[in-house]
Amino acid sequence: MSTRRDLPQSPYLAAVTGRKPSRVPVWFMRQAGRSLPEYRALRERYSMLAACFEPDVACEITLQPIRRYDVDAAILFSDIVVPLRAAGVDLDIVADVGPVIADPVRTAADVAAMKPLDPQAIQPVLVAASLLVAELGDVPLIGFAGAPFTLASYLVEGGPSRHHAHVKAMMLAEPASWHALMAKLTDLTIAFLVGQIDAGVDAIQVFDSWAGALSPIDYRQYVLPHSARVFAALGEHGVPMTHFGVGTAELLGAMSEAVTAGERPGRGAVVGVDWRTPLTDAAARVVPGTALQGNLDPAVVLAGWPAVERAARAVVDDGRRAVDAGAAGHIFNLGHGVLPESDPAVLADLVSLVHSL
């Protein structure tokens, strides 16, 4: 087990744990990715999955935005389907499509045949995390995983889906099979994240990318108990935890219940907010004392500097009002990942602007 780094000056760790940061902390989801020319050059030699399972490559990609931007956190380069691959699922990440599952999981027999995560299969990811802890100095490292529901979405649908029809049909028509699947994916997610924590990451984020497809009633019945179990298990390890999804305005309260299931005093629980919901509205919906992360529309970055500056100032102001209204802290981020068309120079200027406010 890794010894946790002591980073008392980190603005990010201060904000997520309810302390006053020295400046507004900022980092970007997908800050390492297709917007960076150095990333595109490296990816010409490696597929997405190969890059995730090659420690030196994953380490280099994670560090690329740290060299470019004065961001307050790094996030481990990986993919949410990596633990599925490590559990023996036959899948690929197809360019311009996303994860594609060779044999979708749709029956009780399919669920019963699923294997647990192979600890040896994720060793390259954990080696990358250990290398990064040594390289990052005083910059905290965020580990991450996909939430059980989002993993289930890929498994059941066979890939990305607009309507999630197969997922919802299984959930409603075969609840026993659904909960058995979610239980297995919850165990897998816990094992993957605990491995990262033991490797030295300073915080974790759980991405429930497709949770916004659900009604609040269905989320509470079919998803919340499993997500809460993930965070409850992680809370014993004493790292700050963030829960994020897209299109989740009506789910923010329930998502905050999940992430705070594992909170320990002073350790920090955060809910990520997309650009559709003002941070002040989010503060009124989440469990009191939860920090908020977000929420500049990623498309604004493409709109020219005057628009970027106006929108960024508005987000920072809204974040301060949210804290005044009871949120434990605010971490500036986009409301989703950096778009591939984004200009790195604009992102660098955005970081500087946020830090100046």
pLDDT tens string 328-340: 999 999 999 999 9
34 is in an annotated binding site: yes
Residue 174 pLDDT exceeds 70: yes
The residue among 27 and 160 whose pLDDT is bigger is: 27
336 is in an annotated binding site: yes
The pLDDT assigned to 265 comes to 62
Beta strands 203-207 and 269-272, pairing class: unpaired
342 is in an annotated binding site: no
Residue-wise pLDDT for 262-299, tens only, equals 766 667 999 999 999 999 999 999 999 999 999 999 99
208 is catalytic: no
Lowest mean pLDDT among 13-22, 95-104, 191-200, 260-269: 260-269
Q: Is 227 annotated as a binding residue?
A: no
Q: Is 153 helix (H, G, I), strand (E, B) or coil?
A: helix
Mean pLDDT across the stretch 30-57? 95
Among residues 12, 154, 219, 222, which one is catalytic? 154
**Class level of CATH domain 9-354:** alpha beta
Q: Among 34, 276, 320, 321, which one carries the catalytic annotation? A: 34
User: 């059980």: which residue's tokens?
Assistant: 148
| Active-site annotation holds for 317 | no
281, burial (CB in 10 Å: exposed 0-12, middle 13-18, buried 19+): middle
pLDDT at 1 over 60: no
34 flagged as catalytic:
yes
Q: Residue 195, Cα to own-chain centre: how many angstroms?
A: 16
Quickly state the pLDDT bin for 177 (edges 50, 70, 90). very high
Q: What is the pLDDT of residue 4?
A: 72
Check residue 162 and give its pLDDT.
87
Catalytic residue among 12, 30, 222, 285: 30
**Residue of 12, 39, 43, 285 marked active site:** 43
Average pLDDT over residues 304-308: 97
79 catalytically annotated: yes
What does the pLDDT look like over 79-113, one tens digit per residue? 999 999 999 999 988 888 889 999 999 999 999 99
Residue 199 has pLDDT above 90, yes or no: yes
Among residues 12, 39, 72, 79, the one annotated as catalytic is: 79
Q: Where are the alpha helices (DSSP H) in the chain?
A: 11-16, 37-43, 48-52, 55-68, 82-86, 108-113, 123-135, 148-157, 165-173, 175-199, 216-222, 224-235, 252-260, 279-285, 305-324, 344-356
pLDDT of residue 272: 98
The verdict on whether residue 154 carries a ligand-binding annotation is yes
Task: Choose the weakest-confidence range: 6-10, 75-79, 126-130, 230-234.
Answer: 6-10
pLDDT(2) > 60: no
Q: Which helix (H) or strand (E) element contains residue 244? A: strand 241-244
How far is the C-alpha of 78 from the C-alpha of 88, rounded, in Å? 17
- pLDDT bucket at 165, cuts 50 / 70 / 90: very high
**How far is the C-alpha of 6 from the C-alpha of 61, rounded, in Å?**
24
The pLDDT mean for the chain works out to 95
| Predicted confidence band of residue 8 (pLDDT cuts 50, 70, 90) | confident
Going by their DSSP bridges, the two strands 74-75 and 91-94 should be labelled as unpaired
Catalytic (active site) residue 90: no
Residue 200, marked binder: no
46 labelled binding-site residue: no
pLDDT > 70: percent of the chain: 98
The residues spanned by each domain of the chain are: 9-354
pTM, two decimals, is 0.95
